[in-house]
Amino acid sequence: MNASTHIGFLGLGNMGAAMALRLLHPESQLHVFDPNPDAVAQLVAVGAIAHASPRSVADSASVVMACLPSSAACEEAIFGQDGVAAGRLMRTYVEMSTIGPTAIVSIANRLSQKNIGTIDAPVSGGPAAARAGALTIMLSGNGDDVARATRWLGFIAKKIHRLGDQAGQAQAMKLVNNIMLAANMAVASEALAIGAKAGLNADVMSEVIRSSTGQSAAADILARCALTGAFDFGAHLSIVAKDVELAIAEARALEVPVPVLDEARCLWKTAIEQGRGRDDFTSILKIVEERGDVLVRGAMQQ
């Protein structure tokens, strides 16, 4: 195999592992790193090659993707003592984490000094969509870099939206999307709690909402993953709370008032302060239920 058939992947959490699995093909070789040995072992069991550091991955693959939980984790994976920036072979770095425009622009500028291109490519869709290769990717970056990575991105995504040629544009779009999700999850939880306490059946509410103007992705997610009592979308609450903070910081930098988002932030911040960061993000409904002394569940969960 030549260098173009080797792909690297950093970060094997719920989303990262699902995406990495999509990159396993007979005609290519997948190189992976994660500080969690159990996560690595699961990929190795199906054909991936484990590495002891991000740098080692970048010594083996010309394109390296990353799906990490924070900008600090990205900084360490790229520019730390054993980061990919020091790798011998990597020519294109694909950042799939949600870290905000400021962070990705800084990363891209520093990598460009090492003649390494950066693709800004945050994703949306959740673990189930990742496993099915049906994610949405918001993408921005230099055309040559995008061309090198397009083949790999096609294994992961059903839709790829090109936002522009500059790193930061895709991150901005991801924050736009996540602002809507976070605020809608908060208000949808409150609306369902009001309805339940007024005596409405949760299943009936969901059915009506699906065919009415209140329909939204948030309402659908709550119906599928929360009203069942499962709380199993597959994304930690801390991830959404982090994205809300990134969005508010970006709004402040752009001098755009966001009073509604500020209010929604209070609910997500409360969840973190209560130690619920590792709970599924659909469990935001539980906080609303507790505040209102009401339970919002479908008929099978009453």
Q: How many domains does the chain have?
A: 2
- Cβ neighbors of 63 (< 8 A, separation 6 or more) are 7, 8, 90, 91, 92, 94, 148, 149, 152
The CA-based dihedral angle spanning residues 184, 186, 189, 190, taken in that order and rounded to the nearest 10 degrees: -110
Domain boundary among 142, 166, 190: 166
Which residue in the list 114, 158, 159, 174 is annotated as catalytic?
Answer: 174
* pLDDT score recorded for residue 299: 62
Check pLDDT > 90 for residue 244.
Answer: yes
Compute the distance between CA of residue 302 and CA of residue 229 in angstroms, rounded to an integer: 9
Q: Are 159 and 280 found together in one domain?
A: no
Which residues is 112 bridged to in the sheet?
Answer: none
pLDDT tens digit string along 105-137? 999 999 999 999 999 999 999 999 999 999 999
For residue 283, give both structure tokens.
């469990």
Q: Token pair of 173, please?
A: 């779009």
Q: How many Cβ atoms sit within 10 Å of the Cβ of residue 3?
A: 12
Average per-residue pLDDT for the chain: 95
Q: Are 26 and 159 within one domain? A: yes
Residue 271: the pLDDT is 97
Do residues 96 and 122 make contact, with C-beta atoms less than 8 angstroms apart? yes
Residue 275 domain boundaries: 172-301
Q: Per residue in 17-41, pLDDT tens?
A: 999 999 998 889 999 999 999 999 9
* pLDDT at residue number 2: 65
pLDDT in tens, 38-93: 999 999 999 999 999 999 999 999 999 999 999 999 999 999 999 999 999 999 99
Q: Which of 114, 136, 166 is the last residue of a domain?
A: 166
Does residue 300 surpass a pLDDT of 60? Answer: no
Domain boundary among 166, 195, 217: 166
Tens of pLDDT along 263-286?
Answer: 999 999 999 999 999 999 999 999
pLDDT of residue 302: 44
Q: Please check whether residue 144 is in contact with residue 117, taking contact to mean a CB–CB distance below 8 angstroms.
A: yes
Residue 144 burial (10 A CB sphere; 0-12, 13-18, 19+): exposed
Is 197 catalytic? The answer is no
pLDDT at 238 over 50: yes
Global confidence as pTM: 0.93
- pLDDT, position 1: 57
Long-range pairs for 251-256 at CB < 8 Å and ≥24 separation?
253/102
Same domain (yes/no): 239, 159: no
